[in-house]
Structure 1
Amino acid sequence: MASSREKEAMARVLAHELGYVNHPKDPGGPTNKGITQRIYDAYRRSKGLGAQSVQVISMKEVTEIYHRQYWDAVRGDDLPAGVDYVLFDGAVNSGPKQSIIWLQRALGSLYKGRVDGTMGFTTIAAVNAVNDHDALIDRICDQRLAFMRRLKTWPTFGRGWSARVAEVRSIGQAWATGAAPQVANFYDGASAKAFAEDAEAAPMTAPADAAAGAGTGGLGLSGYLYDLQNQLSPFSYTSEWIGKVIVVLAIASAVVAIGGLAYGLYARHKARRLAEDMGPV
């Protein structure tokens, strides 16, 4: 039997999800009350039932899927008030594994295990060691927003997601501090699925490395030509011509090398920031 807080949490998640949506840019595809067609198909198969459109999903089915697929997956009954709801809402929106990853990262040094999205004994023990659940909820929501900002779908759904996470933060912290949580609201775009598979691509460093190598090679060639110029100095016309080539080649090579090195530093920095925000995918 679901706990009373699960029912209250579910009511708020459903307010965020509302009804049937099928936005062309939503990676979840056809979705009703937060349940995608793929999840609904799997649920129906597990019951020995035939496939049907998620548009006609019943509330009984929604409740069972939410309980088994999301609440139990994040072990909601084992989590403190507020933290359970925050993890639950994140699980419905981005999958249980991703929501647990945000928690594991938010736990910081208290968590001694691998950041793997598995809600095991180590994760639960770390949560139980937290004294300030209000602050923990802040960190979880910060992780969630940083993750969402790295998705290619952020320009389309970012405004709705931001409003949803702000409300989740407020409701979760109210529960954590013993205050009465507000009701949840629906925000346009907030129900779109936020999946790690839609992360922006990390910039490639190979072209930058190649440019830096080519530039360095060009500088080496200009040095060789300089030696050649000294050898041909008695032949003033040839020496003067080589001198002009050396200047042009040296400048061009320096520009290519510096540009390659600069872009390589930028690309590596951006890739590192992307990895920090996304976590293990």
Structure 2
Amino acid sequence: MADYKLAYSKILKSEGGYVNDPDDRGGETYKGISRKFWPGWLGWTIIDALKKAGKFPKKPVTPNEIEIDVQLQYEVSQFYYHQFWSKIGGDKIKNQSIAEMLLDAAVNEGIVPAIRRAQTIAGIAVTGEITDELITKLNKL
């Protein structure tokens, strides 16, 4: 089966570090997680506490420049796992490349559009929902 940790590491490379750009429609964002679109994410509580303690940057930085907070990094990983990987059936897909492409599409375009595209490619009914039929077809590619 596809390995979430490998797929996750690739997502992080493209999602970057921390930015709070008022011209960006997502606004304040950490590793691709926008406060505007995901205000209930537990990581924001950690980030806010780090800010209060003066341990979080006020300007855009790359991931390597951020002081690593283990719990925050765990929350990022769990976010991508639960919000995307599990919803695309990543643990059931055998081919790592296919799982990674589907995860990337889900993160950047949305889960339903990503699944619809996969269903179209697989030649099955387009519902936007992960089904056993889709997983079986993807695993035959």
TM-score by length of 1: 0.37
AA aligned opposite 1:78: K
Give the whole-Å Cα distance in 2 for the aligned partners of 1:102 and 1:42.
29
Q: Does 1:116 align with 2:139?
A: no
CA change 1:25–1:59 in 2 (3 A) is same
Q: Does 1:79 align with 2:93?
A: yes
CA change 1:86–1:25 in 2 (3 A) is farther
Q: Does 1:97 align with 2:96?
A: no
Q: Give 2:60's aligned residue.
A: none
CA change 1:51–1:20 in 2 (3 A) is closer
Q: Give 1:279's aligned residue.
A: none
- Residue 20 of structure 1 deviates from its aligned partner by 1.6
TM-score by length of 2: 0.68
Instruction: Give SS of 1:31's match.
Output: strand
Q: Give 2:64's aligned residue.
A: none
CA change 1:25–1:120 in 2 (3 A) is farther
Give the whole-Å Cα distance in 1 for the aligned partners of 2:6 and 2:29.
22
CA change 1:20–1:104 in 2 (3 A) is same
CA change 1:60–1:79 in 2 (3 A) is same
CA change 1:83–1:59 in 2 (3 A) is same
Percent identity, please.
Answer: 30
Q: How does 1:1-281 map to 2 (within 5 A)?
A: 5-23=3-21, 26-44=24-42, 58-81=72-95, 82-108=97-123, 111=124, 113=125, 115-128=126-139, 130=140, 133=141
For CA contacts below 8 A with separation 6 or more, give which structure has more relative contact order.
2
Give the whole-Å Cα distance in 1 for the aligned partners of 2:24 and 2:118.
24
Give the whole-Å Cα distance in 1 for the aligned partners of 2:105 and 2:21.
20
- Indicate the structure (1 or 2) with the bigger Cα radius of gyration: 1
Give the whole-Å Cα distance in 2 for the aligned partners of 1:122 and 1:38.
35
AA aligned opposite 1:92: V
Deviations, residues 76-122 of structure 1 (Å, cap 9, x unaligned): 011132111111122222222222122112223xx1x2x23211223
Unpaired segments ≥5 residues, structure 2: 57-68
- Residue 41 of structure 1 deviates from its aligned partner by 2.2
- The answer as to whether partners of 2:17 and 2:30 remain within 8 angstroms in 1 is yes
CA change 1:28–1:100 in 2 (3 A) is farther
- Residue 39 of structure 1 deviates from its aligned partner by 5.0
Higher helix share: 1
- The answer as to whether partners of 2:2 and 2:91 remain within 8 angstroms in 1 is no
* Total equivalences in the alignment: 120
Unpaired segments ≥5 residues, structure 1: 134-281
- Residue 27 of structure 1 deviates from its aligned partner by 3.6
AA aligned opposite 1:102: R
CA change 1:62–1:39 in 2 (3 A) is farther
- The answer as to whether partners of 1:41 and 1:52 remain within 8 angstroms in 2 is no
